């Protein structure tokens, strides 16, 4: 057997060596293991993860320590940027990154961040992280109301930065100036901005832009009549929402996603309060930034057109935001299959709700298209005939069949497709029509997930025409539907599909609905109690100038909506009245539409009709100021006040006598859609303002 | 020559050749082989040569090292019991039916209702 010969003294030496290496392991290797384990626990969000990581940070020193603080505090920390929130909630829009790294990471408290960031600023080497650390520390101080400390941290860091980080030091100075402005320390802010302006700053850069914006904010705020927007964000259970990002966004900016250089950014304090001072006149809307924890199971109830804040100067606007609990839905849920002729929707009752709106969605390739199934439901459950769903206006999406983009047949079939998985949601409104809460939103844990809002409708059996449609043969399907309908005029499904397919065809040919569609539309209008077909008929007869039919179908529509015609249709009817020369009636209809329509999208038409009938530019300017046009989809909304003002000045010029009659002539052409005969004189420079106004009116849609 | 004479001759010769050499450490050698003082006894032990069976010693040593290492590690790892089995370095959101869910939760919920509906 293999034997080892060893002297006692050598054995002793061996044991000593082993002991020493064990001690070394304890001192050098185990701490490293400890660091790795603590990091992992923190990232996974285990119970002690945070305290373990803090212990590790406390125990480490030098570069290791700075690296840990960089990685776990600064990198994912917030310096009031837009990237530091999980979800940006706009108006009926939600934006979040679809992939989240380390979703379970715990959050640092203000005390923790202040302690370690202060340490970092004093000791860590001067690099880009130092600037971020300073801004984050300043933010923590600001949320605690410690403005002086915030300024101190930024200034101290600025002094520490070496010359090669010159640009970063400017950024810190700008951050200080911004804090000074918000704290009403205008002299200090101006001094800082002057210092910045003196240093070489490239023109039209982010920095020069920001300096200009801050300077105009100071001017605005210096003026005692400056406007402000403030408010409180809390939850309906009374909990104040601290540390929420609040973004006051200009109507000219909302069409794009939130950017860092937008001037009005802040964060709620521990009581949930926020405020913006020195707000320049304009139209604004508030976006908020939240963490997943804060939005999970809750919603910010907003409707697009009711959220605008119009600042005309000298106003102190208060806008509070209350997050509401999502409505829980009861039935149909969890992929329930409906085979009967009716479907019963049921959901949790909402306190204070006067009525509910039920929406359905059809699945499409990357998401869903939704539409209203039933409006003004007064109880928290309703049993509907499936016909109501089949008749609901539903959009359609495009899909690729072969190498061609075609309307996706499953969406064209809508609720009549037995293999589609539909979903639904509900909104609750109070008696004033204000949205209270909704059932769709962020549902990120077991408790908030609730039931899945999916169901199948398998009452309808696919016809041969449906099969043709699903196979992508749209023209053949249309012929088959038409043949089916001729055979049986009591077949609402074929009728609906004919109207839908003719509509799609017209859209594809970029043509309005043709005369051949009208008999079908009129038949469908007789059986569809939603009134969806009527707007198409009004549009058609308006286009061909058959005014008696227009009036007839508008009356029917009015009846279908029990006198509550949607403002969009009201305005369209008003425009048709203008078109047929009934300017006074048109003006009245547009006035009513304007009262019901917070979007102000038809204000141009209304103002034009007012000017036409009264010739009163001052009244028109007043209306333009009262109802500024703004939109979520673009930045070039006409400034009606400016346009009318321009005409008002122009009308006092050399053409004073004939100006108004010329304007009426031009407007008439504009209303009737026939501007040919005004073209000659309107191009003259003396009518430049009138031309600008007429062009803007003709572009209203 | 008689053997006695021959022996005598060799001895003389040897004495002549080694006459210059003297064995000085006789006392030391004796002290080593038959130690009397404590110091000497200790030194004897210190230099004692052991004969050890390599395999069994090596194996038991390896076991010992392994035990020590594992207990050390376990102590660290067990400090905090993970709240879930899988580390979640990354999670995806998914929009479905108007709601936003975590993709893994959503897929599980859909699987669950499908199993339930089939049974």
Provide the pLDDT for residue A479: 92
Q: Which of A304, A324, A344 is the last residue of a domain?
A: A324
Same-domain check for residues A282 and A402: no
Distance (Å, rounded) from C-alpha A88 to C-alpha A95? 5
The larger pLDDT score, comparing residue B3 to residue A495, is at A495
Same-domain check for residues A421 and A348: yes
Residue A446 lies in a domain: yes
Residue A252 lies in a domain: yes
Residue A79 lies in a domain: no
DSSP letters, A22-37, are HHHIIIIIHHHHHHHH
Residue A673 lies in a domain: yes
Contact list in B for residue A101 (CB cut-off 8 A) is 89-90
Give pLDDT tens digits for B49-108: 888 787 888 899 899 989 988 887 776 555 444 444 445 566 788 888 889 999 889 999
Same-domain check for residues A574 and A681: yes
Same-domain check for residues A153 and A265: yes
Question: What CATH number is associated with residue A337?
Answer: 2.60.40
Same-domain check for residues A551 and A615: no
Please, is A175 exposed, middle or buried when counting C-beta atoms within 10 Å of its C-beta (0-12, 13-18, 19+)?
A: buried
Are A139 and A117 contacting, i.e. CB atoms less than 8 angstroms apart?
no
Give pLDDT tens digits for A53-105: 888 888 888 888 888 888 888 877 766 555 678 888 888 777 777 666 666 67
Residue A621 lies in a domain: yes
Question: What CATH number is associated with residue A154?
Answer: 2.60.40.10
The larger pLDDT score, comparing residue A693 to residue A184, is at A693
The larger pLDDT score, comparing residue A293 to residue A655, is at A293
Q: Which of A542, A562, A582 is the last residue of a domain?
A: A562
**What's the pLDDT band for A481 if we cut at 50, 70, 90?**
very high
Give pLDDT tens digits for A328-383: 999 999 999 999 999 999 999 999 999 999 999 888 877 778 888 888 899 999 99
B 71-100: CB under 8 A from A = 72-73, 76-77, 79-84, 87-100
Give pLDDT tens digits for A675-684: 665 567 777 7
Provide the pLDDT for residue B82: 44
A281 pLDDT exceeds 60? yes
| Nearest C-alpha in A relative to B97 | A423
Task: List all residues 6 or more positions away from A135 whose beta carbon is below 8 Å from its beta carbon.
Answer: A79, A80, A154, A172, A175
The reply to whether residue A8 touches residue B76, judged by beta carbons under 8 angstroms, is no
Provide the pLDDT for residue A203: 65
Residue A386 lies in a domain: yes
Are A567 and A593 contacting, i.e. CB atoms less than 8 angstroms apart?
yes
Same-domain check for residues A245 and A320: yes
| Nearest C-alpha in B relative to A12 | B46
Contact list in B for residue A100 (CB cut-off 8 A) is 90-93
A572: Cα within 13 Å, side-chain hemisphere: 21
Domain that holds residue A42: 19-59
Distance (Å, rounded) from C-alpha A282 to C-alpha A289? 22
Same-domain check for residues A572 and A694: yes
Contact list in B for residue A367 (CB cut-off 8 A) is 95
Provide the pLDDT for residue A609: 93
| Nearest C-alpha in B relative to A50 | B80
- How does the average pLDDT of chain A come out, rounded? 85
Same-domain check for residues A457 and A583: no
Q: What is the mean pLDDT of residues A546-561?
A: 89
Backbone φ and ψ of A207, nearest 5°: -70, -45
Provide the pLDDT for residue A32: 81
Provide the pLDDT for residue A194: 86
Residue A474 lies in a domain: no
Q: At A233, list the tokens.
A: 């964000």
The reply to whether residue A334 touches residue B117, judged by beta carbons under 8 angstroms, is yes
Same-domain check for residues A392 and A448: yes
Residue A588 lies in a domain: yes
B101 CA to chain A: closest CA distance, Å? 5
A51 pLDDT exceeds 80? yes
The reply to whether residue A423 touches residue B76, judged by beta carbons under 8 angstroms, is no
Distance (Å, rounded) from C-alpha A371 to C-alpha A416? 15
- What is the count of structural domains for chain A? 5
Same-domain check for residues A346 and A421: yes
Tell whether B47 lies on the interface with A, counting CB pairs under 8 A.
yes
Contact list in A for residue B89 (CB cut-off 8 A) is 43, 101-102
Q: What is the mean pLDDT of residues A656-664?
A: 85
A130 pLDDT exceeds 90? no
Same-domain check for residues A334 and A360: yes
Same-domain check for residues A183 and A314: yes
Provide the pLDDT for residue A204: 63
Q: Which of A308, A324, A340 is the last residue of a domain?
A: A324
Task: Provide the number of CB pairs (under 8 Å) joining chain A to chain B.
Answer: 145
Please, is A127 exposed, middle or buried when counting C-beta atoms within 10 Å of its C-beta (0-12, 13-18, 19+)?
A: middle
| Nearest C-alpha in B relative to A25 | B69
């Amino acid at each position: 057997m293999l034997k080892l010969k060893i002297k006692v003294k050598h054995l002793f030496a061996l044991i000593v060596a082993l002991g020493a290496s064990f001690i070394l392991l304890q001192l050098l290797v185990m701490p490293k293991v400890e660091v790795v384990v603590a990091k992992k626990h923190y990232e996974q969000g285990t119970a002690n993860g945070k305290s373990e990581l803090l212990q590790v940070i406390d125990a480490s020193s030098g570069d290791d320590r700075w690296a840990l603080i960089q990685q776990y505090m600064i990198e994912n920390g917030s310096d009031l940027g837009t990237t530091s929130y999980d979800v940006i909630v706009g108006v009926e829009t939600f934006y979040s990154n679809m992939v989240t790294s380390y979703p379970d990471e715990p959050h640092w408290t203000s005390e923790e961040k202040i302690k370690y960031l202060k340490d970092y600023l004093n000791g860590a080497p001067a690099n880009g992280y130092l600037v971020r650390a300073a801004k984050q520390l300043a933010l923590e101080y600001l949320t605690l109301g410690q403005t002086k400390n915030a300024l101190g941290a930024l200034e101290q860091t600025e002094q520490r930065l070496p010359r090669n980080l010159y640009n970063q030091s400017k950024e810190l100075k700008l951050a200080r100036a911004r804090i000074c402005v918000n704290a009403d320390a205008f002299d200090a802010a101006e001094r800082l901005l002057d210092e910045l302006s003196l240093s070489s700053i490239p023109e039209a850069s982010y920095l020069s832009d920001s300096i200009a914006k801050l300077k105009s904010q100071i001017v605005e705020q210096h003026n005692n009549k400056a406007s402000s927007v403030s408010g409180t964000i809390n939850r309906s259970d009374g909990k104040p929402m601290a540390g929420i990002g609040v973004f006051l966004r200009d109507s000219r900016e909302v069409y794009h996603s939130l950017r860092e250089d937008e001037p009005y950014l802040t964060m709620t304090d521990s009581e949930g309060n926020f405020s913006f001072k020195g707000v320049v006149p304009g139209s604004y809307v508030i976006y908020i930034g939240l963490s997943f924890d804060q939005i999970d199971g809750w919603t910010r109830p907003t409707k697009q057109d009711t959220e605008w804040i119009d600042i005309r100067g000298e106003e102190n606007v208060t806008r509070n935001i209350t997050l509401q609990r999502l409505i829980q839905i009861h039935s149909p849920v969890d992929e329930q299959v409906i085979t009967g002729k009716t479907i019963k929707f049921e959901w949790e009752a909402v306190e204070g709700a006067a009525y509910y709106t039920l929406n359905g969605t059809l699945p499409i390739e990357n998401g869903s298209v939704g539409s209203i199934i039933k409006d003004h439901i007064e109880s928290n459950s309703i049993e509907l005939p499936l016909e109501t769903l089949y008749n609901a206006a539903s959009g359609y999406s495009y899909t690729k069949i072969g190498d061609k983009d075609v309307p996706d047949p499953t969406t064209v079939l809508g609720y009549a497709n037995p293999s589609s998985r539909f979903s639904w949601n509900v909104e609750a409104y109070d008696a004033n029509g204000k949205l209270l809460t909704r059932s769709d939103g962020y549902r990120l844990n077991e408790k908030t997930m609730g039931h899945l809002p999916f169901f199948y409708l398998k009452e309808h059996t696919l016809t041969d025409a449906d099969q043709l449609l699903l196979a992508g043969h749209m023209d053949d399907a249309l012929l088959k539907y038409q043949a089916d309908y001729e055979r049986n005029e009591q077949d609402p499904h074929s009728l609906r599909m004919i109207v839908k397919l003719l509509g799609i065809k017209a859209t594809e040919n970029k043509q309005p609905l043709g005369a051949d569609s009208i008999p079908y539309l009129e038949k469908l209008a007789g059986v569809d109690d939603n009134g969806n077909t009527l707007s198409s008929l009004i549009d058609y007869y308006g286009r061909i100038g058959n005014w008696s039919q227009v009036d007839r179908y508008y009356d029917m529509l009015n009846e279908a909506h029990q006198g509550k015609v949607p403002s969009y249709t009201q305005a369209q009817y008003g425009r048709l009245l203008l078109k047929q020369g009934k300017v006074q009636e048109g003006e009245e209809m547009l006035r009513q539409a304007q009262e019901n329509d917070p979007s102000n999208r038809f204000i141009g038409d209304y103002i034009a009709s007012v000017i036409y009938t009264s010739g009163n530019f001052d009244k028109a300017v007043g209306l333009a100021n009262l109802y500024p046009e703004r939109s979520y989809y673009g930045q070039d909304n006409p400034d009606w006040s400016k346009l009318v003002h321009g005409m008002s000045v122009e009308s006092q010029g050399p053409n004073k006598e004939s100006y108004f009659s010329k304007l009426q002539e031009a407007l008439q052409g504009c209303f009737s859609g026939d501007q040919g005969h005004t073209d000659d004189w309107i191009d003259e420079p003396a009518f430049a303002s009138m031309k600008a106004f007429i062009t803007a009116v003709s572009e209203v849609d | 020559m008689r053997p006695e004479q021959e022996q005598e001759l060799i001895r003389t010769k040897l004495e002549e050749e080694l006459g210059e050499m003297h064995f000085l450490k006789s006392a030391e050698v004796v002290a080593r082989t038959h130690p009397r003082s404590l110091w000497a006894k200790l030194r004897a032990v210190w230099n004692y040569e052991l004969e050890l069976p390599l395999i069994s010693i090596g194996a038991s040593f390896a076991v010992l090292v392994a035990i020590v290492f594992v207990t050390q590690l376990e102590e660290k790892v067990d400090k905090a019991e993970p709240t879930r089995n899988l580390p979640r370095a990354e999670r995806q959101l998914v929009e479905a039916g108007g709601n936003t869910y975590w993709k893994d939760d959503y897929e599980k919920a859909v699987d669950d209702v499908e199993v339930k509906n089939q049974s």
